[in-house]
Amino acid sequence: MRLLSSRNSTFQWFSGLFHRIIKLLAVFLVKEHIFAKKYFMSKQFSDLGINEQILQSLGELQISVPTDIQKKTIPLILNQNKDVVGLAKTGTGKTAAFGLPLLHLIDEENTAVQAVILAPTRELGQQIYANLTSFSAHSPAISIASAFGGIPIKPQIERLKSPTHIVVATPGRLVDLVNRQAISIKNIAYLVLDEADEMVSALKEDLDVIIKETPKSRRTLLFTATMPGAIKQLVQNYMSKHVVQVQADMDTVGHQGIDHQYMVVEPIEKLEVLLHFLNSKEGERGIIFCKTKAAVNKLAKNLAINKFSSGAIHGSLTQGIRDRVMGQFREGYIDVLVATDLAARGIDVKEISYVVNYHLPDTYDTYVHRSGRTARAGAKGLSLTILQQEEVEEIADFEKELGIVFHKFEKADAQSIEENNSLVWAKKIFKTKPNRTVSKEFKEKISTIFHHLTKEELVEKILANHLAETTTASQPLEKSKKKKRN
């Protein structure tokens, strides 16, 4: 009996312990659910803890629903004193993800620089500065300054003499300002690295100088679309041990709306095939990426000769030219932008319907950034890569590494190319300005030759002459191809 009683007692004790554990687990799960619902399932910015002044600015900008990265990072930055790594594709709203909580956390009474935001390019920095200025429209006490290379430094030095809370800068210019003692970053509270994967690859030395100049007590907020080894090393070297990593919109490259395609061409036909593609996209905006500045210049020149509405940007152009071209692209005055990878950072244009990789990207990360320029804000987009036959096998590697599927884009046949060349030729004639130096008498002589022809007859004769000339010009080329095959 005693043994039975002892067993019953032991059973009751374990049973009671089990029920207490179940209750504690239930309470924990309920709390976690409430936390998740409060911070990660919020559907409005008003649910995330942002102050009324910022919410008012967002309302006027007609921004009300936060993106995935914004829902996950804003409460984290506001409510926890930890470093943050935000991993999200381009076009997902990373600027607001760090910018809104920063504006909320700024101590308006303290006139010293409290936050530094670094961007790899002037264009991206200007975009961040413009966004923060818009977000803080109803927070007049918050002062934001910008400091980028490629423009005179003296006005920036003068600006920094005034009270400034947030500085948006490119690394090289910030190092210059620090060396000139125009700014002190020894006591900043926040350091933001946007598009950090680009900075660690191209601007590592400047980045190291800046980080070492800042206090160890700072909070570092790092945002990136990819996580190469250099980023992991930076996190390990310069961020706290308790860094929180947030991941959003990473299921596929960029957005679900990107259609990844590739096209195989012979080197000699590459330009003609591209022109045919661009004609099919007339009226739509797109970006063509080239590997080098020289390649950008060469392609942009060919597009201009063929009267395409286009412009070019790369790092060697002056800031004034880059700003003008970018302004024309944003406003829709030009449809095609030819660019290098780094120069294209900061292009925040939602209506980009296609991206062309005129050369196969060197890295998977580069492809991620390029393709992410299209299909923004829920739209659809095309990412087209132009290849030579020997490069086709690399497509499988991109698919495996990035978790995407490429479809083959059938290039135009010879007849379509010929017709397209004639259309390009006709547009060149249409857009050609009259030659004012030709004498009136000579014009009359030419007019006399054609005066008996109708408009339709004149078009037919000019077209026939053009086709005859192009056919004659292409014959030596065809013979050359046959000799090479033999």
For range 455-459, the mean pLDDT: 78
In angstroms, the CA 11 to CA 29 distance is 27
Lowest mean pLDDT among 41-45, 303-307, 357-361, 475-479: 475-479
Q: What percent of the chain has pLDDT over 90?
A: 45
According to the model, what pLDDT value does residue 34 have? 45
Rounded Cα distance, 345 and 455, in Å:
48
- Per-residue pLDDT, 210: 96
Q: Read off the tokens for 437.
A: 């130096």
* The model scores a pTM over 0.75: no
pLDDT at 399 over 80: yes
Q: In the predicted model, is pLDDT for residue 254 greater than 70?
A: no
Greater confidence (420 vs 112) lies with: 112
Q: Which of the pair, 41 or 296, is modelled with greater confidence?
A: 296
Pick from 4-8, 192-196, 228-232 the range whose average pLDDT is largest: 192-196
> What does the pLDDT read at residue 250?
57
CA-nearest of 216, 224, 193 to 206 is 193
> Tens of pLDDT along 316-343?
888 888 889 988 998 888 999 999 987 6
Nearest C-alpha neighbor of 162 from the set 111, 110, 102? 111
- Report the b/e string of 256-289 with b at 16+ CB within 10 A: eebbbbbbbbeeeebbbbbbbbbbebeeebbbbb
Cα dihedral 292/296/298/302 (nearest 10): 150
Amino acid (one-letter) located at 106: I
**Range among 22-36, 350-364, 427-441 with highest mean pLDDT value:** 350-364
Average pLDDT (176-192) is 97
Q: For position 188, what pLDDT does the model report?
A: 98
> Domain 45-248, what architecture?
3-Layer(aba) Sandwich (3.40)
Residues 387-398, mean pLDDT to the nearest whole number:
93
Q: What is the CATH number of domain 258-415?
A: 3.40.50.300
Which has the higher per-residue pLDDT, 73 or 11? 73
Q: Is pLDDT of 253 > 60?
A: no
User: Is 266 a residue whose pLDDT tops 80?
Assistant: yes
Question: What is the C-alpha to C-alpha distance for residues 344 and 336, in angstroms, rounded to an integer?
Answer: 13
Judged against a pLDDT cut of 80, whether residue 473 lies above it is answered with no
Residues in a beta bridge with 166: 115, 144
Q: Choose among 33, 34, 93: nearest CA to 69.
A: 93
Q: Does the pLDDT value for residue 208 go beyond 60?
A: yes
What integer pLDDT is reported at residue 39 of this predicted model? Answer: 45
Strands 219-224 vs 190-193: parallel, antiparallel or unpaired: parallel
pLDDT higher for 483 or 161? Answer: 161
The overall average pLDDT reported for the chain is 83
What CA dihedral angle connects 336, 342, 343 and 349, to 10 degrees? 60
3-state secondary structure of 364: helix
d(CA 481, CA 473): 14
Query: In this predicted structure, which of 10-14, 147-151, 430-434, 466-470 has the lowest mean pLDDT?
Result: 10-14
State the pLDDT confidence band at 35, using cuts at 50, 70 and 90: very low
Percentage of residues in the chain having pLDDT higher than 70: 81
201-227 average pLDDT score: 91
Tens digits of residue pLDDT in 105-119: 999 999 999 999 999
Picking from 49, 112, 52, the residue whose alpha carbon sits closest to that of residue 80 is 49
Which sign does the torsion angle of CA 165, 169, 172, 177 carry? negative
Is pLDDT of 246 > 60?
A: yes
Q: Tell me: pLDDT of 52 over 50.
A: yes
Average pLDDT of 351-358? Answer: 93
Give residue 41's pLDDT.
Answer: 46
**Separation CA 11–CA 18 (nearest Å):** 10
Sheet harboring 336-339: ordered strands across? Answer: 310-313, 336-339, 285-289, 352-357, 381-387, 258-264, 407-408
Which has the closest alpha carbon to 412: 260, 218, 270? 270
Q: Residue 374: pLDDT above 90?
A: no
